[in-house]
């Protein structure tokens, strides 16, 4: 038995010394290969340890922001549709207002009032029933139902029936009755501002004219930023315009005296002009929502970039470093093979002359 000293190495250990390192290097090599091809750590959870939860919360925020951004796309579309419709309503109202200002009582002037009213009312109803996707943009939260009922349908719509009834109750005749010519301008005026106006407000409006909900849709356009994203057909502007157009179309072509017609035209002009103001206010309010959505999108996209950079820092592998590590591991393994083969040659018996 030889003395066991600090420098003593057993042959068994010498021969097997390279096995451990080679195995370790090979297992590292397979991990690195995976990382090289996927660009992510082979075992992310092991790599991050207790930072895994942080990584997940970052990914959760990214998901939330992406969802909000794509939701904002839909909101923008619907807001643009709403703006276009409001623009159409407003310009039709402007045209009507101009025509009304130049209108003079005379022969056949009643028919022109009626035409004005009918076409404007039709355009108001069709613009109010504008859709974005399969949603009626003026429906408030009740977006699955067309907000405005067709007025000139057959059989007569509830709105028309209600107007005829109100006229009959007040004057005892229908507008188309020749006896209606006896109605004075002041009587007409008080009818228009009294029983007739009441048909376009409150319960009568919701029953006869509008199916919209007065509750507007709202959405979270950015983290913690909830805004109203629509308007609805129960806004005063819609009521005023519908009222003006309805009185023109109902009482314009009727048997009314020219004084009474003049009263109708004056009342309608005032309503239309208030309606236009109201539409402009709605447009402004929605415009500010549109810009809020754009701002939210911008801020979210920069926030997304920061978050994604952060996630990348956590779970992305540096390709250059990995490639360098693979090269060095390959060298190491080759070196170990070389050493094993050399060590197996290192045997005193090899150097003894054959007896």
Nearest 5°: phi and psi at 106? 180, -165
List C-alpha distances in Å: 9 to 6, 85, 203, 215, 254.
Answer: 9, 92, 102, 88, 122
Q: What is the DSSP string of 177-201?
A: SGGGGG--HHHHHHHIIIIIHHTTS
Q: Which is nearer to other proteins, 46 or 156 (CB)?
A: 46
Nearest 5°: phi and psi at 119? -70, -40
Nearest approach, Cβ of 54 to other proteins (angstroms)? 7
Q: Does 56 bind other proteins (CB under 8 A)?
A: yes
Q: Which is nearer to other proteins, 104 or 348 (CB)?
A: 348
Q: Does 104 bind other proteins (CB under 8 A)?
A: no
Residue from the set 26, 30, 38, 46 that interacts with other proteins by CB under 8 A: 46
Instruction: Point out which span in 53-61, 186-194, 254-262, 311-319 binds other proteins (CB under 8 A).
Output: 53-61
Residue from the set 83, 91, 114, 142 that interacts with other proteins by CB under 8 A: 142
Which pair of structure tokens corresponds to residue 81? Answer: 């549709």
Cα–chain center distance at 269: 36
Q: Which is nearer to other proteins, 243 or 289 (CB)?
A: 289
- Could you say which residues in the range 182-241 bind other proteins, by CB under 8 A? 213, 215, 217-220, 226, 230
Instruction: Point out which span in 122-130, 143-151, 201-209, 316-324 binds other proteins (CB under 8 A).
Output: 143-151
- Could you say which residues in the range 313-352 bind other proteins, by CB under 8 A? 347-349, 352
**Strand, helix or coil at 43?**
coil
Look at the alpha carbons of 344, 348, 352, 355 in this order and tell me if their dihedral is positive or negative: negative
Nearest approach, Cβ of 43 to other proteins (angstroms)? 8
Nearest approach, Cβ of 181 to other proteins (angstroms)? 46
CA angle 314, 316, 322 (to 5 degrees): 125
Instruction: Indicate the Cα dihedral angle 249, 250, 255, 257, nearest 10°.
Output: -80
**Residue position matching structure tokens 């992510």:** 40
Instruction: Point out which span in 89-97, 132-140, 178-186, 187-195 binds other proteins (CB under 8 A).
Output: 132-140
Residues 19-38, mask of contacts with other proteins (x by CB under 8 A) = -x------------------
Q: What is the DSSP string of 212-250?
A: --SSPPEEEEETTEEEE---BTTSHHHHHHHHHHHHHHH
Nearest 5°: phi and psi at 136? -80, 120
For other proteins, the binding residues (CB under 8 A) are 1-2, 4, 8-14, 16-17, 20, 45-46, 48-54, 56-57, 60, 135, 139-145, 213, 215, 217-220, 226, 230, 347-349, 352
């Amino acid at each position: 038995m030889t003395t066991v000293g600090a420098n003593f190495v057993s042959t068994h250990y010498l021969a097997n010394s390279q096995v451990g390192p080679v195995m370790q290097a090979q297992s590292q090599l397979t991990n690195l290969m995976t990382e090289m091809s996927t660009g992510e750590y082979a075992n992310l959870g092991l790599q991050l340890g207790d930072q895994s939860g942080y990584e997940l919360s970052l990914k959760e925020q990214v998901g939330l922001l992406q969802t909000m951004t794509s939701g904002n796309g839909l909101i923008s579309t619907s807001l643009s549709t709403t703006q276009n419709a409001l623009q159409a309503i407003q310009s039709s109202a402007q045209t009507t207002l101009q025509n009304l200002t130049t209108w003079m009582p005379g022969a056949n002037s009643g028919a022109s009032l009626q035409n004005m009213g009918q076409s404007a009312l039709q355009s108001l109803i069709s613009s109010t029933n504008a859709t974005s996707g399969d949603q009626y943009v003026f429906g408030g939260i009740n977006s699955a139902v067309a907000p405005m009922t067709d007025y000139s349908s057959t059989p007569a719509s509830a709105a028309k029936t209600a107007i005829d009834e109100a006229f009959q109750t007040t004057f005892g005749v229908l507008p188309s009755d020749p006896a209606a010519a006896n109605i004075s301008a002041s009587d007409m005026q008080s009818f228009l501002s009294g029983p007739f106006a009441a048909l376009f407000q409150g319960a009568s409006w919701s029953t006869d004219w509008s199916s919209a909900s007065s509750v507007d849709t709202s959405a979270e356009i950015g983290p913690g930023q909830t805004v109203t994203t629509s308007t609805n057909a129960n806004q005063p502007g819609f009521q005023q315009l519908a009222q003006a157009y309805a009185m023109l179309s109902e009482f314009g072509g009727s048997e009314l005296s020219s004084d009474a017609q003049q009263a109708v035209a004056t009342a309608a002009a005032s309503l239309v002009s208030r309606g236009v103001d109201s539409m402009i206010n709605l447009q402004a309010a929605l415009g500010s929502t549109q810009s809020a959505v754009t701002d939210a999108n911008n801020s979210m996209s920069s926030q997304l970039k920061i978050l994604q950079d952060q996630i990348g820092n956590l779970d992305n592998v540096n390709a250059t470093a990995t490639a360098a590590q693979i090269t060095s591991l390959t060298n190491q393994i080759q070196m170990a093979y070389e050493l094993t083969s050399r060590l197996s040659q290192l045997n005193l018996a090899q150097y003894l002359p054959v007896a």
